[in-house]
Amino acid sequence: MNQLTLALTALYERIPRRHSLDNIKEISSIITEYEDLLKEVEATNSFYEKKAAPFFEDLDTARTNVKLSSSNKASKKNKDDFFDLASGILKDSIQSLLKVYGDGSRTTE
């Protein structure tokens, strides 16, 4: 495995499952780190540049749900649901990216 694959795997392992104030901070940090790693994947070559776009959309959706999970207007259940959704989106996105990225050596379909 290359460094980028290892970093993505480590990030995946850090994704919290339960809604709490500390976990909101953690998942926000993970989203930022994931975005940085996505930019590295995108910069690898033109194949990955084309494949990276949908993963950035996942980031936006996860960010929105994290924000909603910390809203003072949302009920505890809604906060939990929003957080669970954000966590699931990140896990699914990173798993999918790892499948697409592999060892980072692809140049064509």
Per residue in 60-92, pLDDT (tens digit) is 999 999 999 999 999 999 999 999 999 999 999
pTM: 0.93
Q: Compute the average pLDDT of residues 36-53.
A: 94
Residues 6+ apart with CB under 8 A from 22: none
pLDDT score, position 107: 86
Q: Which whole number is the average pLDDT over 22-47? A: 96
Percent of the chain exceeding pLDDT 70 equals 99
Can you give the pLDDT at residue 58? 96
At 69 the three-state DSSP class reads: helix
CATH code given to domain 3-101: 1.20.120
How far, in Å, CA of 24 to CA of 20, rounded?
A: 6
Give the residue from 64, 29, 58, 24 showing the smallest Cα distance to 41: 58
Q: Between 1 and 104, where is the model more confident?
A: 104
